[in-house]
Structure formats: structure tokens, C-alpha cells
Amino acid sequence: MPTRIDLEQRRSEVIEAAFRLLAAEGITGLSLRKVAAESGLNIGSVRHYFDDHRNLLVAAVTEVGDRMGKRLTRYSTDMLVGLDNESAADALQDLVEELLPLDNERRVESIVLIEFIVAARVNPIFRPVTEKMAADMREVITHALEVLDVPEPAEEAERLIAVVGGLILDAVTPHGSLDDERVRRTLRAHVRSVLVAGRDGYPPA
């Protein structure tokens, strides 16, 4: 058992090193040799876990999806039942913020994700993972809106996902550079606009 734990820990360290390089240099700057140097290992040790550059990249994007998925699943839809007004907005905001780069860990993950989404346009090896991530996110958000009794939850989920995508880009790329407070305020305004639909007495967004 200790040997297996050590192997899993070492593999995780290699992926973390890949994340740091992807965030700093993008996919084109990543190589097994650079990852080995970043993780403090020799290249033979890195090849023990990932025999080529492509396998390491696929493992990295899969890890991003797994981490985001685990954070989303912490929010059971049972927690949303019966909520309205600001309590509903708080709960939906907390759920969606798990996808946004509001701390260093999520910021690095968002940058890595953007790198792979762009790469998937021309490189089909990344598409199954990125498409699954998008489908899982759509399913979680749509179901949350259904539980909150939002009319046309599938359509509202698409709009919310579009806002999330725009906020991520503006938060981690030079053309936007939104700070955390602006990201939260913008998301809150949209969350309120989603929840106000069909709800009498909800305060204006």
C-alpha cells in the first residue's frame, strides 16, 4: 500500500508541474523534459508515468475535468429545494463560483482548461474530455435551475454557462483582467436575473 500511495503522489506531482508550465507557457511550451525539471525528477521517472507528450497532455486535461467535477458534486441539489429570493441566489452563486478562477488553484485550472479548449479545435485527442466537461457542467447547472423552479431551465443554463465562459476569459486573459470582486458582482447580477424570471416579489437585479 505505501508503494502505491507513493506512486500516486508522484504522478500527481508530475501533473501539478505540468499545470504550472501550461499556465506559464501554454501547450506549445510543454515538454516532458521541462515537466521533469519543474517536478524535480529525471525524465526517465516522468516517462514511467507518461510515456509520451500526448499522454501527459490528456492526463492533464482529464485532471482538470475531474477536479471541477468533484467541486460541483459537493453541492447536492437537495440543498436547493425550497430556496427562494436571496437564499436561492446565494446557493446558485456558490455553486457556479466553483467554476470561476477566484483563487490560485481555480485560476490555474481555468487557464489550463482554456488552453485545451482552444487546442481541441484542431486536435481531436482533446475533444472527448472537453466535450464531456461541457456536458457535465450543463447537466449540473440545468438540474440546479430545475430544482429552483426556474422557467425554461435548459435555455437559462445555456445563458448562464455563456456568462461563466466570458467571466473566465476576462479574469485570466489580458484583454479583460477582471478582479475577483468584479467577477462576483457580474455573476450575481446574472444569477438574480435568472431567478427573477417567473418569481413574483423577487427584488430587482
Does the domain formed by 1-51 have CATH 1.10.10.60? yes
**Helix (H/G/I), strand (E/B), else coil: 173:** coil
Q: How many CB atoms lie within 10 A of CB 143?
A: 14
Give the residue among 88, 110, 103, 83 at the shortest CA–CA distance from 170.
110
Torsions phi, psi for 77 (to 5 deg) = -65, -20
What local confidence, expressed as pLDDT, does residue 196 receive? 84
Q: Which residues of the chain have pLDDT under 50?
A: 1, 198, 201, 205
pTM for the full predicted model: 0.85
pLDDT (0 to 100) of residue 201 = 46
Fold of 61-196: Tetracycline Repressor; domain 2 (1.10.357)
The residues spanned by each domain of the chain are 1-51, 61-196
